[in-house]
Structure 1
Amino acid sequence: MRYGKEHKQETRQRIIETAGRRLKRDGIDGSGVATLMKDAGLTNGAFYAHFTSKDDLVATAVADQLHALNENIVAQAEPGLAGLEQIVRYYLSAQHRDNPGDGCPNAALLDEIGRCADATRQAYTDGVLVLIDGIATRMTPDDPPSARVKALSLLGMLAGTLQLSRALTDRQLSDGLLEQGIHNALALLGAEQHI
């Protein structure tokens, strides 16, 4: 039975979304094509109808996950410092820490992305630039490009803090780290005295 273009696109998107969640939970190296396809409810044979290689799927899933983070968190945040605080508090929340499959690909995959093929690294870079531009717009609405490096630094601080909080077995210490991370991020933004 042949399916139309719409069905093929829906199937492709299902693969991308389920792969994104699995990759963030198990890592790129810890997620084989068979597992990724099983998560999508498909066979291995269907894989090559949608992607040329696992690297192709990984690059696409990383881009999709960053796009979703931007659309669901950054773009929804209020303008200015209030929006920056919303972003920081979401990112360094216990809920985000405890649900890596539903969270940001930065904290879950950054170490592996750095070792990936150029296509994946480029997809990551393109997605991160959209994120940091949204953050920079809230930092300096009149001149967002001037805040790009500061926004990237903030993202690095957030991702590193979240990674470390996930690695700790002591829940109280992990919670304290998240709270300190919020304090540090707001201090970097100069937002503590305003919010």
Structure 2
Amino acid sequence: MEPRIASPDEAASPPGAGGTVRTSRITAGARRGPWQVDLATMVRAEVVRRVSRVPISLRLEPGVLVDAAPTQLVRVLADLVDHAQRHADQVFQIEVRRNGRCAELVVEDDGDGMVGTDRGRTFRRSARPGGTNTGGPEDVDGLAAVRDIARAHSGMLRVAESAMGGARFVLLLPVAGLPEAGRRTCAATT
């Protein structure tokens, strides 16, 4: 069966996308399909449906395709954009680019950033930076699910300080069409 490119409608946010997703369901969902998702198209569709209190800067390389479950990637993007919107002071940026065998989706903001001690807890389930428990999309269970979705797709999620001053999340996924050995290179990238 030939992969096909998922349309923005097919990649719509699933009901309850803000809740905790179990790793077994994530892994199972990543293996379905053959789907190819155009990351720039997905980002544009997500940004168009949002109302943002701060401007969103887009830097989107066209034609960056990944083999992935569209609903799971929309979940990843929605959680990362929610985080950036909440913490940005004046602007946040979304970038899509190809870097060798990896596709990169970068979401960064100009907010307060992540305190070094919080960064280590970022992906632990039920941990909240600063000890807060808001239960909203910003909860770290969401970021843990983002990390799990990346891993289920042979990728990884990194967090660092942004040159803009806030947090910088980098999702690395293998570009579409790679053999299994080539797919693992993005998960091993440091």
TM-score tier, shorter chain, comes to: 0.3 to 0.5
* Greater strand fraction, Structure 1 or Structure 2: 2
* Greater helix fraction, Structure 1 or Structure 2: 1
Higher radius of gyration, 1 or 2: 1
